């Protein structure tokens, strides 16, 4: 395990222990912490054969780069397991449900989108390499474990990937506030990919033109837009509601 990165927070590290403990080199826990959350984490780490090191607060702050680490930091393998869209779609036993993010560069938003995607049973989150943030420690912490359960697939050309998704009989729906049709008027019982842009900027022109159709979330108050993770949840759970 030559190249390592750091993750922090109880949810992120617990998820890594449960799903890929072999990727963890060691875990640093605040010295003297004896609460149930810390004890459960240590117990799980020991059951997976992962070394736990009591560490002072100053070093934890340094390891996490000043982020809110909750008293726990881990060194893990730097490389993510490589998963392609074809890998995901080939293994499905139900119609695909995908979330595509166009221009989401804030790791807090990415982490929240991954968490929503996991809750909705989304099969993968897709983003372009040129206008997206990677899975850094902040995104992983905000995702609360979803970074290890939902594949995050970064593609070189988003429009081309959307065309490939469509060739797999997945209906591609773009979210845009100026659309004529709202999301509740669209049938989503089959395979669906929801495409959302960053708050304010929205979808890029080519991304919009590649979608099969455009839909809006009806807004009944004074605000004009929603955070991308909130909008993602509304769209994905409507697809799940229709399937149920």
Cα–Cα nearest to 9, from 55, 71, 51 = 71
Q: Characterize the bridge pairing of strands 72-77 and 4-8.
A: antiparallel
217 annotated binding-site participant: yes
Q: Characterize the bridge pairing of strands 97-102 and 124-128.
A: parallel
Where on the phi/psi map is residue 202: left (φ > 0), alpha (ψ -120 to 50), or beta?
left
CB-CB contact of 234 with 202 (8 Å): no
44 annotated binding-site participant: no
Altogether, the residues listed in the chain come to a count of: 244
Our CA angle for 146, 149, 151, nearest 5°, is 100
226 annotated binding-site participant: yes
Cα–Cα nearest to 210, from 228, 197, 225 = 197
Task: Report how far residue 157's alpha carbon sits from residue 114's, in angstroms, rounded to the nearest whole number.
Answer: 21
Sheet order of strands, 24-30 included: 4-8, 72-77, 24-30, 51-55
CB-CB contact of 27 with 72 (8 Å): yes
Cα–Cα nearest to 29, from 71, 61, 75, 76 = 71
Annotated binding-site residues read 197, 217, 226
Which residues does the annotation place in the binding site for S-adenosyl-L-methionine?
197, 217, 226
């Amino acid at each position: 395990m030559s190249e390592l990165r750091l993750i922090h927070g109880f949810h992120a590290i617990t998820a890594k222990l449960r799903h890929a403990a072999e990727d963890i080199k060691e875990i640093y826990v605040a010295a003297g912490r004896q609460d149930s959350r810390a004890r459960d984490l240590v117990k799980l780490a020991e059951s997976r054969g992962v070394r736990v090191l009591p560490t002072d607060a100053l070093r934890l702050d340094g390891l996490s780069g000043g982020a809110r680490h909750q008293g726990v930091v881990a060194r893990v393998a730097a490389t993510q397991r490589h998963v392609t869209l074809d890998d995901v779609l080939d293994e499905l036993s139900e119609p695909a449900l995908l979330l595509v993010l166009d221009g989401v560069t804030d790791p807090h938003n990415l982490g929240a989108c991954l968490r929503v995607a996991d809750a909705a049973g989304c099969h993968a989150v897709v983003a372009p390499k040129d206008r997206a943030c990677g899975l850094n420690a902040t995104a992983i912490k905000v995702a609360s474990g979803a970074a290890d359960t939902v594949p995050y697939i970064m593609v070189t050309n988003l429009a081309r990937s959307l065309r490939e998704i469509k060739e797999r009989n997945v209906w591609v729906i773009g979210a845009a506030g100026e659309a004529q049709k709202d999301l509740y008027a669209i049938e989503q019982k089959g395979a669906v990919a929801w495409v959302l842009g960053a708050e304010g900027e929205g979808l890029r022109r080519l991304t919009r033109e590649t979608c099969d159709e455009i839909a809006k979330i009806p807004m009944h108050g004074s605000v004009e837009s929603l955070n991308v993770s909130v909008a993602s949840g509304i769209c994905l759970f409507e697809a799940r509601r229709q399937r149920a």
